[in-house]
């Protein structure tokens, strides 16, 4: 009898521990109406057909909702079903049918009850960001004579690097980031890397044709500012600023499809690559 009683006691203890662990694990998962930060991609075969993250360094954000609210959008239905199954740091791969595969990673989440406090803290960070922004704007204005004095030296360097590219001397140093911009990192900065979603970034650059014809040298005028509204100057600008930390100097080879923008301030010859010698001056993240 004593032996049977001991076995029963052990079963009860083990069951209690398992239940407690399950409860603790469940407590670390998002529930309905919690606010989550995640990454979510969908592949069809080997091809990426959907991503919730648009820029490097960004995260997707949403409230956990009843999947029934998204009937008709199978990707969102799957997302809402999977999020409550994850703890922060978890990654899962799941089948979506039609040769599609979902890949979901939960970064962290905020309980619905804590959401007002999260918004309040965000407002405080935004106020600090705006205050710092005005200081940096004044600094940039004061530094204009310094950068103008460097304009010719930068142009000479850009022409030299274009020559090295034409001769293939830098081929083994070139790397590529999406969407097909090649680069050589000449100097890696030690400052912050811009987060496109919540950053203002100041850059200077000299853009030229592959044969060395200078098209635009911002050192002669003002730096280009990239913020949450994007960079109308050219698509390559906002794609590049999120790749390198403040203080970096980079040589870029930009395909023609990325080399011009709505303002058409850089008259790139039709079909030509754009060579860019870029310097990231300041990155102000919130």
pTM of the model: 0.60
* CA distance linking residue 86 with residue 184, whole number of Å: 39
Please list the pLDDT of the chain residue by residue as tens digits (286 residues). 554 554 444 444 544 444 444 444 457 999 999 999 999 999 999 899 999 987 655 789 999 999 999 999 999 999 999 999 999 999 999 999 999 999 999 999 999 999 999 889 888 887 887 887 788 888 888 989 999 999 999 999 999 999 999 999 999 999 998 789 999 999 999 988 887 666 788 899 999 999 999 999 999 998 888 775 555 567 788 888 889 999 999 999 999 888 875 444 567 888 889 999 999 998 887 6
The predicted pLDDT at position 232 comes to: 55
The predicted pLDDT at position 229 comes to: 55
Residue partners of 38: CB distance under 8 A and separation at least 6: 52, 59, 60, 61, 62, 83, 104, 105, 106, 107
Residue span(s) of the chain under CATH 3.10.50.40 come to 133-285
The predicted pLDDT at position 165 comes to: 95
The predicted pLDDT at position 95 comes to: 94
* CA distance linking residue 171 with residue 253, whole number of Å: 11
Would you state the structure tokens that stand for residue 256, as one six-digit string?
Answer: 């023609």
CATH code, 35-110: 3.10.50
The predicted pLDDT at position 186 comes to: 96
Burial of 93 (0-12, 13-18, 19+ CB in 10 A): exposed
* CA distance linking residue 51 with residue 39, whole number of Å: 8
The predicted pLDDT at position 24 comes to: 45
Say if CB 92 and CB 40 are below 8 A apart: no
CATH code, 133-285: 3.10.50.40
The predicted pLDDT at position 159 comes to: 97
The predicted pLDDT at position 265 comes to: 56
DSSP state of 150: T
* CA distance linking residue 30 with residue 263, whole number of Å: 44
Nearest to 29 by CA among 84, 66, 80: 84
């Amino acid at each position: 009898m004593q032996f049977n009683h001991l076995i029963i006691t052990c079963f009860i203890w083990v069951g209690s521990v398992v239940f407690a662990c399950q409860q603790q694990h469940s407590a670390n998962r998002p529930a309905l109406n919690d606010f989550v930060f995640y990454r979510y991609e969908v592949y069809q075969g080997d091809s990426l057909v959907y991503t919730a993250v648009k820029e490097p360094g960004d995260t997707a954000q949403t409230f956990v909702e009843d999947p029934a609210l998204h009937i008709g959008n199978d990707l969102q239905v799957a997302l809402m079903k999977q999020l409550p199954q994850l703890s922060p740091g978890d990654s899962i791969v799941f089948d979506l049918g039609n040769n599609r595969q979902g890949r979901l990673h939960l970064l962290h989440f905020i309980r619905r009850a804590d959401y007002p406090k999260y918004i309040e803290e965000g407002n405080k960070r935004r106020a600090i960001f705006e205050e710092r922004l005005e200081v940096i704007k004044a600094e940039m204005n004061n530094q204009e004579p310094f950068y103008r004095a460097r304009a010719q030296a930068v142009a000479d360097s850009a022409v030299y690097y274009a020559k090295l590219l034409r001769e293939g001397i830098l081929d083994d140093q070139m790397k590529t980031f999406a969407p097909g911009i090649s680069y050589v990192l000449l100097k890696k900065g030690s400052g912050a890397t811009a987060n496109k979603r919540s950053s203002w970034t100041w850059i200077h650059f000299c853009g030229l044709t592959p044969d060395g014809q200078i098209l635009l040298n911002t050192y002669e005028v003002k730096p280009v500012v990239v913020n949450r509204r994007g960079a109308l100057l050219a698509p390559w600008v906002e794609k590049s600023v999120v790749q390198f930390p403040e203080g970096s100097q980079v040589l870029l080879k930009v395909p023609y499809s990325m080399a011009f923008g709505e303002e058409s301030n850089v008259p790139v010859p039709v079909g030509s690559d754009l060579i860019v010698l870029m310097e990231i001056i300041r990155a102000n993240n919130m």
